[in-house]
Amino acid sequence: MAPTVLSVRDDTLALLERLGVPAQAFAEGGLAARSPVDGGVVAELRQTSRDEAEAAIAGAAQAFLAWRRVPGPRRGELVRLLGEELRAHKDELGRLVTLEAGKILSEGLGEVQEMIDICDFAVGLSRQLHGLTIATERPDHRMMEVWHPLGVCGVITAFNFPVAVWSWNAALALVCGDPVIWKPSEKTPLTALAVHALAMKAVKRFGADAPEGLLGLLIGGRDLGERLVEDERVALVSATGSTAMGRQVAPKLAARFARAILELGGNNAAIVTPSADLDLALRAIAFAAMGTAGQRCTTLRRLFVHDSVYDALVPRLKAAYASVRIGDPRDPATLIGPLIDTAAADGMARALDEARAIGGTVHGGERLRDIRGEAAAYVRPALVEMPEQAGPMRRETFAPILYVTRYAELEEAIHAQNAVAAGLSSSIFTRDLAEAETFLSAAGSDCGIANVNIGPSGAEIGGAFGGEKETGGGREAGSDSWKAYMRRATNTINYGKTLPLAQGVTFEV
Ligand code: NAD
């Protein structure tokens, strides 16, 4: 069935070698790295021990003392070199993402392009970490705001964006003057090892200004993430993953007053209004709901279609669901690769059963065991017509399920869209200016991302990325997200000979 000559295992091992992953990374009987392409084990990896995790944190804390004193533009040069390594190895790393996360090749490559883009952004940023000069009410005084490096940044990442999310954080943290320790998903350790190897090449080329311990990597389970969350030497934890994970992480960080960037689950919606361009909407919906096999935090999961266009749109969507090409993600003809594992397929089947039990009509959704056998989790994406928003439609199931309902009034659709716990991404398809502006207004979508005439999935690195409510409230990547990686100091300088107090207070001694 596989169109490529190499077996999944040999293909993976060859890429790891070309990407410079050292032999010491492997250990018989260690953490099993699997490929969702066939569900098989492709390598066994040495896990980071408690002592090694301690050494990584202590080393990063030490590195901070030196790195914070390296000028920002010089720190940017390290990120420029990282971008160069990524450019030079885009093809291999993109293919490894495909093998380890199961994304189709164009998405694997796209993920690496996103890393390159954020490096470029961060290099420019390294010369623009500016503060403000603020009008002071006192004569002969100057007041200003400056931004200083914050401290060690712990980055915990999810399986579905195994490399890009690290780069969104690391590229910014590095130019902001912070060492970075990465705890990747235990489901995608190979891509993390490869990225770390490329980053260490950049560090070597950068030279002596990069202190030892600047970049750490912890390979293993959630206990290593907990280690970062609990250690007071880690000033900021940026954690990407499920809302369940965030619920455990957030109170621990709050208890020690640490900085948190939480990028958690989504339950994203789109509204199709009577004036929508249905051809455009159809393509956008198909990609947003089925792309990456429904395993993006921004995947479209709920669709509200106006009564007047429901019968023109939904049958065409059903046809797209029935005919979409599912298979080995390395095959250029494939549009939908596998789910990450069979547990994800079981979760999908349970959600579909629940939907059926409350009156949902399910189209597709079956497991496709003939593609790669029992161990791999290929599924046909499911379109579920629901009588109303209820049951599994109200939560995130990390699989390609799109729930569809009808609506009559825009206000009702916006209300339903906002009536779930997550608040990540949202879209409206309309050619009516008033409808578009209402959706984007303070009384419209309550999500961190709100789009018009494009789907909710995916984002450019130039904007701040993240969402509200149970999505965690964090923002990363572009805009002014960098401020989370720095501490702000307000400085007031008196260059006169008197001591006027603020607010007219007098105090003569
Ligand atoms: P997950 O929550 O199972 O794991 C994510 C990471 O957290 C892993 O590295 C894991 O080891 C670690 N972890 C788990 N529990 C922890 C704890 N108590 N303390 C410290 N670390 C812990 O998520 P997943 O299955 O890998 O990814 C899918 C989920 O991630 C989905 O819910 C998806 O929406 C979400 N996600 C969100 C974004 C975003 O930017 N909002 C991006 C990608 C994925």
Residues 209 and 282 in one domain: no
Distance 51 CA to ligand 1 centre (A): 24
Atom of ligand 1 nearest to the CA of 266: 34
Q: Whose CA is nearest to atom 26 of ligand 1?
A: 158
Do residues 288 and 349 share a domain? yes
Evaluate the CA torsion angle 414, 416, 422, 425 in order and state its sign. Answer: negative
Residue 306 and residue 400 share a domain: yes
Question: Ligand 1 centre and the CA of 239: distance in Å?
Answer: 7
Q: Say which of 100, 107, 111, 263 is annotated catalytic.
A: 263
Q: Which numbered atom of ligand 1 lies nearest the CA of 471? A: 41
Question: What is the arithmetic mean of pLDDT over 454-471?
Answer: 96
Burial 387-422 (b: 16+ CB within 10 A, else e): eebebbbeebbbbbbbbbbbbeebeebbebbbebeb
Q: Is residue 3 part of a domain?
A: no
CA of 1 to the centre of ligand 1 (A): 32
Do 277 and 249 sit in the same domain of this protein?
A: no
pLDDT of 63 higher than 70: yes
41 vs 32: CA distance, rounded Å: 6
CATH code: domain of residue 284 = 3.40.309.10
pLDDT band at 164 (very low <50, low <70, confident <90, very high): very high
Confidence check: pLDDT of 3 > 70: no
Distance 399 CA to ligand 1 centre (A): 15
Which structural domain range is residue 328 located in? 268-463
Cα of 343 vs centre of ligand 1, distance in Å, is 15
Residues 259 and 275 in one domain: no
Residue 176 in any domain: the answer is: yes
Are residues 219 and 115 part of one domain?
A: yes
- Across the range 68-78, mean pLDDT stands at 98
Domain CATH for 204? 3.40.605.10
Are 249 and 272 part of one and the same domain?
no
Rounded to the nearest angstrom, the distance between the alpha carbon of 265 and the centre of ligand 1 is: 8
Instruction: Report the mean per-residue pLDDT for the chain.
Output: 97
Across the range 150-179, mean pLDDT stands at 98
Indicate if 291 and 393 belong to the same structural domain: yes
Q: Which residues contact 178 (CB under 8 A, 6 or more apart)?
A: 64, 67, 149, 150, 151, 152, 153, 235, 236, 485
> What is the spatial distance between Cα 102 and Cα 328, in angstroms, rounded to a whole number?
8
Q: Are 294 and 464 in contact (CB under 8 A)?
A: no
Do 250 and 275 fall within a single domain? no
ipTM: 0.99
Q: Do residues 384 and 238 touch, judged by C-beta distance below 8 A?
A: no
Hey, which of 97, 160, 292 would you mutate to test ligand 1's pocket, going by the most ligand atoms within 8 Å of its Cβ? Answer: 160
Residue 4 lies in a domain: no
Tally of domains within the chain: 2
- Residues 286, 247: one domain? no
Helix pair 307-323, 278-290: axis angle to 10 deg: 50
Are residues 452 and 316 located together in one domain of the fold? Answer: yes
Q: Using one digit for the tens of pLDDT, what is the confidence trace for 419-460?
A: 999 999 999 999 999 999 999 999 999 999 999 999 999 889
Give dist(CA 97, CA 11) in Å, integer: 12
Pairing of strands 180-183, 152-156: parallel
User: pTM score, two decimals?
Assistant: 0.97
370 has pLDDT over 90: yes
Pocket of ligand 1 (CB under 6 A): 156-161, 183, 185-186, 221-222, 225-226, 229, 240-242, 245, 248-249, 263-266, 297, 396, 398, 424, 471
**Per-residue pLDDT tens over the stretch 386-425:** 999 999 999 999 999 999 999 999 999 999 999 999 999 9
Same domain, 171 and 312: no
- Ligand 1 atom showing the smallest separation from residue 242 Cα: 32
**Is residue 71 a part of any domain in this protein?**
yes
107 Cβ contact partners less than 8 Å away, ≥ 6 residues apart:
97, 98, 291, 292
Mean pLDDT, to the nearest integer, of 309-336? 97
What pLDDT does 2 receive?
Answer: 47
Question: Which of 111, 185, 475 gets mutated to test ligand 1 (max ligand atoms within 8 A of its CB)?
Answer: 185
Q: pLDDT, tens digit, for every residue of 210-261?
A: 999 999 999 999 999 999 999 999 999 999 999 999 999 999 999 999 999 9
The percentage of the chain sitting over the pLDDT mark of 70, rounded to a whole number, equals 99
Query: Atom of ligand 1 at shortest distance to CA of 222?
Result: 11
Cα gap 263→266, rounded to integer Å: 9
Answer yes or no: is 103 within a domain: yes
Confirm whether 5 is domain-assigned: no
Q: What is the pLDDT of residue 458?
A: 84
Contact 389, 246 (CB under 8 A): no
Res. 177: pLDDT tops 70: yes
What's the half-sphere exposure (Cβ side, CA atoms, 13 Å) at 337?
A: 29
Half-sphere exposure (Cβ direction) of 211: Cα atoms closer than 13 Å: 21
Q: How confident is the model at residue 4 (pLDDT cuts 50, 70, 90)?
A: very low
- Is residue 215 one of the residues assigned to a domain? yes
Residue 229 burial (CB count, 10 A): 24
Q: Which residue from 460, 432, 465, 434 is spatially nearest to 447, judged by alpha carbons?
A: 465
- Residue 382 three-state SS: strand
The verdict on whether 263 is a catalytic residue reads yes
- Mean per-residue pLDDT for 307-331? 98
- 115 versus 4: the higher-pLDDT residue is 115
Residue 506 lies in a domain: no
Closest C-alpha residue for ligand 1 atom 35: 241
Q: What confidence score (pLDDT) does residue 276 get?
A: 98
Q: What is the pLDDT of residue 5?
A: 57
Other C-beta atoms lying within 10 Å of the C-beta of residue 80 = 18
